[in-house]
Structure 1
């Protein structure tokens, strides 16, 4: 049996951190950053599995799935992931950690870049521009580029240190860590589903009610009845159906979009959904 490939060096981890600049290059509506994510880590994977072509293919295919996170936080994720691959951790365990980090780091990265550094530097350099300093627009551009570069390198270093330093120590418990990460991921996805999936039944009917000696009509909303039974029940059902089609029927994003568009338009025209 062929031996495993070479061990990754600090230089390899640093190169992978820099390759995070390519994350948006292969963006598509099927896997979002999935193709580019594989492109970012592919050189390191080739080195790890230099003498195991089957394992390289298996790992590559596993990293072609849907992914969407902040590019500046990506080096933290990739370097932890590569350290786990180097330590021969199971692909599914590595995937759980990878997916669990996607949402939280996306939120942190977006907050730092869009709501922290960008307003700060725009305020500073806008003031300089109003004072007549011609370099101010370019100064803003350079300040953002340098800041983002520092964040990428720092995140890559933290991921490398955490990955190489802690993986071996925690290797016996990596299954439990993976399970916990999966729970976090499912919790986040569930919260997103109930918050962003919009589906409300528009059907209402009138019923006769008697209050004392007075007889009148009351409009009953099916949606209000469902909300009393279980709030956001319909969005959960839609999410479960989509998951079933993806997982069991192997539908792609375009098929799901066509189905949802068709059902949404038809249900809206017929007055079933609001």
Structure 2
């Protein structure tokens, strides 16, 4: 691990936590929260890479990549990432941990905020409003803001503590942690790809079995040999075009839509 002077103070982590309120402002369907995430940690990155404009540019660009997590839990990730960067950890290994946290924190955050806190406060303050308490809507607003601020601040502090006090422990096993995080990420993406990408062949051929002519679908045979092969192939091609050919999402979508229509009209896909 590189020895370096720590450039961030506790105030910088607080600033990042507060800036997380603007996470969704840069939302788009190319990188989702990527632009907002880079904006959240940018002041911290400027301090970490002060007098190193090229490294700052590279770090900022890398953090504009696709990211999608519950907004209430993002301070945990930003604090952890900034703390590890400030302690000189390898950015590529930190990225693996950052991406691995995306799925679990999205699930936990949605369960707590959208399916826990919001319905609970809605029920309480709606009942108060129906009872004639005119301040109920404002009380609901203050309760939601206060609770979300508490969650954000708590998770931001937890991420800071894990990234600083546990840095020595993490540094000894950072390669194993990073590898495990990458494996989890690839496993999740692979599972999503084969379950949500639909590609089915419409081609059939006739064969004689026990003296009777039967029609056999190529898709049936393919599924018996290599189940879900076509969704995996399409996903790999999409990854190649985005990663290696620098295609944007809109160009890729156009290709997939046109290809799907043409191949369907030709009777190749169903």
Q: Determine if the TM-score, normalized by the shorter chain, exceeds 0.5.
A: yes
Deviation by residue 1:77-110 (Cα, 9 ceiling, x = unmatched): 0111001111111121111111111111111111
The question of whether the paired residues in 2 share the 8 Å contact of 1:4 and 1:49 is answered with: no
Deviant stretches of 4+, over 4 Å: 3-6
Give unpaired runs (5+ residues) of structure 2. Answer: none
Deviation by residue 1:140-182 (Cα, 9 ceiling, x = unmatched): 3332222221111111011011111111232132122111111
Give unpaired runs (5+ residues) of structure 1. Answer: none
The equivalent of 1:70 in structure 2 is 70
In the alignment, the residues of structure 2 paired with residue 144 and residue 131 of structure 1 have an alpha-carbon distance, to the nearest angstrom, of 20
Of 214, 223, 227, which aligns to 2:219?
Answer: 223
In the alignment, the residues of structure 2 paired with residue 133 and residue 209 of structure 1 have an alpha-carbon distance, to the nearest angstrom, of 78
The equivalent of 1:195 in structure 2 is 195
The equivalent of 1:149 in structure 2 is 149
Task: Decide which moves more: 247-256 or 84-93.
Answer: 247-256
The equivalent of 1:60 in structure 2 is 60
In the alignment, the residues of structure 2 paired with residue 111 and residue 49 of structure 1 have an alpha-carbon distance, to the nearest angstrom, of 36
In the alignment, the residues of structure 2 paired with residue 130 and residue 225 of structure 1 have an alpha-carbon distance, to the nearest angstrom, of 62
Please give the TM-score of this superposition, normalised by the length of structure 1: 0.90
Deviation by residue 1:242-270 (Cα, 9 ceiling, x = unmatched): 11112222222122111111111212233
In the alignment, the residues of structure 1 paired with residue 130 and residue 205 of structure 2 have an alpha-carbon distance, to the nearest angstrom, of 62
In the alignment, the residues of structure 1 paired with residue 188 and residue 21 of structure 2 have an alpha-carbon distance, to the nearest angstrom, of 26
Q: CA RMSD in A?
A: 2.0
The equivalent of 2:158 in structure 1 is 158
The equivalent of 2:122 in structure 1 is 122
In the alignment, the residues of structure 2 paired with residue 234 and residue 95 of structure 1 have an alpha-carbon distance, to the nearest angstrom, of 29
Q: Give the number of aligned pairs.
A: 268
Of 227, 236, 241, which aligns to 2:237?
Answer: 241
CA distance 1:135–1:48, change in 2 (3 Å): same
In the alignment, the residues of structure 2 paired with residue 206 and residue 135 of structure 1 have an alpha-carbon distance, to the nearest angstrom, of 74
In the alignment, the residues of structure 2 paired with residue 23 and residue 273 of structure 1 have an alpha-carbon distance, to the nearest angstrom, of 40
The equivalent of 2:9 in structure 1 is 9
CA distance 1:93–1:218, change in 2 (3 Å): same
Task: Decide which moves more: 261-270 or 8-17.
Answer: 261-270
In the alignment, the residues of structure 2 paired with residue 193 and residue 224 of structure 1 have an alpha-carbon distance, to the nearest angstrom, of 20
In the alignment, the residues of structure 2 paired with residue 205 and residue 131 of structure 1 have an alpha-carbon distance, to the nearest angstrom, of 70
The question of whether the paired residues in 1 share the 8 Å contact of 2:4 and 2:88 is answered with: no
Please give the TM-score of this superposition, normalised by the length of structure 2: 0.91
In the alignment, the residues of structure 1 paired with residue 237 and residue 122 of structure 2 have an alpha-carbon distance, to the nearest angstrom, of 45
The question of whether the paired residues in 2 share the 8 Å contact of 1:6 and 1:47 is answered with: no
Secondary structure at the aligned position of 2:216 is classed as strand
Secondary structure at the aligned position of 1:218 is classed as strand
